[in-house]
Copies of this chain bind each other. A is one copy, B any other.
């Protein structure tokens, strides 16, 4: 750990979260700001960080370690991916410097799976989850990180060996806003969400399962208001039906669910309904633990 502490930053496409970590490793301050990199002109990013984030965290003189899309071609600067299989040490070796000086800014690289598949940000949460769960340091484990682009990763003996992405959240969002099938209210309807999960068909023929959202409404089988809940069920059910198989999940294996409380709630409900064992970990806690672990590996040295 840096003797003087550091700024831990999770800067994604839509959201920004930052924490000041003290020299003893304690969280001393935190900030959440509405400027994901997709909402900023890339040329503004360094200035917004120096002029808004540092003062908010009272961290003008601290080194910063960032993860997420800030290290992509829509962020501060594109940083090369590290290839799977990748250990925490491999990731630390790929850390790049965005700004030098007394209070440097560094960024964690994303991971590349040969399939191909890519992630930026989730790798830090996965290694953070691993740091928080030393009992998983050995052996083979299955991690699910739900989101706009949900990631399923296979972790073996402390390395991320492969992963696959389902664009569940983005499909929900574009269909909700731009298609004939997702019109309705945002109110959660557990009965319709469950019906969607049950109709997902083990992950096959998603383009047909999706259309049922509309067919149920126009045939009078369901109310239009509940369509988004059903749609969410079909999409999450399809992810849970298809992705574990793609990543080589074993029957009866525990899913380690890492993410935000609201997404964990939906996925936990779905996993339970579909008969999976699972353990939950809070996403923010995981990202902080991951950035700390990288600092311990010399990412700010």
Q: How many residues in A have their beta carbons less than 8 Å from beta carbons of B?
A: 48
> Are A207 and B245 neighbours in the complex by a CB distance under 8 Å?
no
A216's partner among B116, B170, B235 (CB-CB below 8 A) is: B116
A165's partner among B206, B208, B238 (CB-CB below 8 A) is: B208
Tell me which of A173-181, A251-259, A260-268 binds B.
A173-181
A218's partner among B73, B208, B242 (CB-CB below 8 A) is: B73
Q: Which residues of B contact A221 (CB under 8 A)?
A: 116
Interface residues of A in 203-249 (CB under 8 A from B): 203-208, 210-212, 214-216, 218-219, 221, 235, 238-239, 241-243, 245-246
> Are B208 and A206 neighbours in the complex by a CB distance under 8 Å?
no
> Are B112 and A208 neighbours in the complex by a CB distance under 8 Å?
no
A203's partner among B174, B179, B205 (CB-CB below 8 A) is: B205
Kindly report which residue of chain B lies nearest to residue A221, judged by CB atoms.
B116
Question: A186 on the interface (CB 8 Å rule)?
Answer: no
Interface residues of A in 124-157 (CB under 8 A from B): 149-150
Report copies per complex.
2
> Are B207 and A167 neighbours in the complex by a CB distance under 8 Å?
yes
A274 to B: closest C-beta gap in Å: 15
A interface residue numbers (CB < 8 A to B): 72-73, 81, 112, 115-118, 149-150, 164-168, 170-171, 174-175, 177-181, 202-208, 210-212, 214-216, 218-219, 221, 235, 238-239, 241-243, 245-246
Shortest 7 CB-CB contacts between residues of A and residues of B:
A205-B242, A166-B207, A206-B206, A116-B219, A165-B211, A167-B211, A174-B178
- A sample of 14 inter-chain contacts (CB < 8 A) reads A116-B216, A116-B219, A117-B212, A118-B215, A150-B207, A166-B208, A167-B179, A167-B207, A202-B204, A203-B204, A205-B238, A206-B206, A207-B239, A208-B239
